[in-house]
Every structure is written in structure tokens, then in C-alpha cells.
């Protein structure tokens, strides 16, 4: 049975180590790299953060966020809403040695929080062809046989 676009989305983002999280800082957009943890069951992307950080203020003022995942030949863009929780069970769920490096006060520090992203839509680009096929497709597009190279699967996902 072919994998649904929704399943493919969750499978893909589960493999990424980092993503760029973009928030609105007044009238400007602001992006920063963060380490995602996935809660597929709840349909959430989670990040350990400091509750005194600028991003917490930004999502309090405007909960619309974007996340950009890029790795090798896979690209995922996500739009959704964000909130912040200091729930100890949620912090425990996402805590790992990498979080310890960013939050030296530990998981019990009152400033340790979780940024919760609830995706509403996503777009996936998955380069499905090998390097030889890619070169052939680019050559055909270059000489005018095709309007653009056909090397990537592109799917829009409503979440």
C-alpha cells in the first residue's frame, strides 16, 4: 500500500536533526536553528527552549510560525501555530543530552520550556532520482527539450 502524504511528512521530519524555526518579531521575520523532537501521536513538533527567550515573546505576540527542514535531497516547509509549555512531563518527553548543552540549568530549571508547533500544512520536496538521472534531466531542460528538470517529487500536505 503506498504511503500517504501525511505519513510521508511525519516519516521525513522524524529524520531531521535540525530545522529553522521562523517567528514574527514585530514586522520582521526571524529564523533560528533548533533541534526538533516529533510527537506524531499528537501531531506536534517540539523544541526545548528557554522560556525567557525572544522566540517565546514572539509566539506570544503572534502564534503563526514556519519550520524549514533541509537535509541531503529532502526539503520540508511547514506552516503552523506555536505555543509554549513548562509542563514537566512534556519537558521530560523531549529531554536529551543535546538539550542539556543548551539548558545548563537542566530539565528542572524553571526557565526550561517546550516550544510546541502544531503544523497545519506542509510542502515536501524529495529528490527521488540518482545523480546520473539528475544530470540527464538538467541537460534536457538546458537544451529546451523540457521546461524544467524532472528530478523531484513535490507534495502539498494538509495536516
Q: What is the CATH number of the domain that holds 23?
A: 2.30.110.10
Q: What average pLDDT score do residues 89-107 get?
A: 92
Other CB atoms within 10 A of residue 132 CB: 8
Q: Read off the pTM.
A: 0.81
Q: Where on the phi/psi map is residue 12: left (φ > 0), alpha (ψ -120 to 50), or beta?
A: alpha
**How high is the pLDDT of residue 125?**
87
Q: What average pLDDT score do residues 74-81 get?
A: 95
- Secondary structure percentages of the chain, helix, strand, coil, to 5: 25, 40, 30
- Residue 123's domain spans which residues? 5-158
Q: Say how many domains are in the chain.
A: 1
Amino acid at each position: 500500500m503506498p504511503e500517504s502524504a501525511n505519513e510521508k511528512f511525519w516519516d521525513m521530519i522524524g529524520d531531521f536533526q535540525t530545522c529553522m524555526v521562523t517567528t514574527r518579531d514585530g514586522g520582521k521575520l526571524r529564523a533560528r536553528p533548533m533541534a526538533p523532537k516529533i510527537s506524531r501521536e499528537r501531531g506536534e513538533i517540539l523544541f526545548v527552549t528557554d522560556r525567557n527567550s525572544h522566540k517565546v515573546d514572539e509566539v506570544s505576540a503572534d502564534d503563526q510560525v514556519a519550520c524549514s527542514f533541509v537535509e541531503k535531497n529532502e526539503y520540508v516547509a511547514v506552516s503552523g501555530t506555536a505555543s509554549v509549555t513548562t509542563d514537566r512531563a512534556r519537558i521530560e518527553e523531549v529531554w536529551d543530552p543535546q538539550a542539556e548543552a543548551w539548558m545548563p540549568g537542566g530539565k528542572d530549571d524553571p526557565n526550561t520550556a517546550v516550544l510546541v508547533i502544531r503544523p497545519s500544512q506542509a510542502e515536501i520536496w524529495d529528490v527521488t532520482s540518482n545523480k546520473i538521472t539528475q544530470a540527464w534531466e538538467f541537460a534536457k531542460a538546458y537544451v529546451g527539450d523540457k521546461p524544467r528538470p524532472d528530478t523531484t517529487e513535490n507534495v502539498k500536505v494538509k495536516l
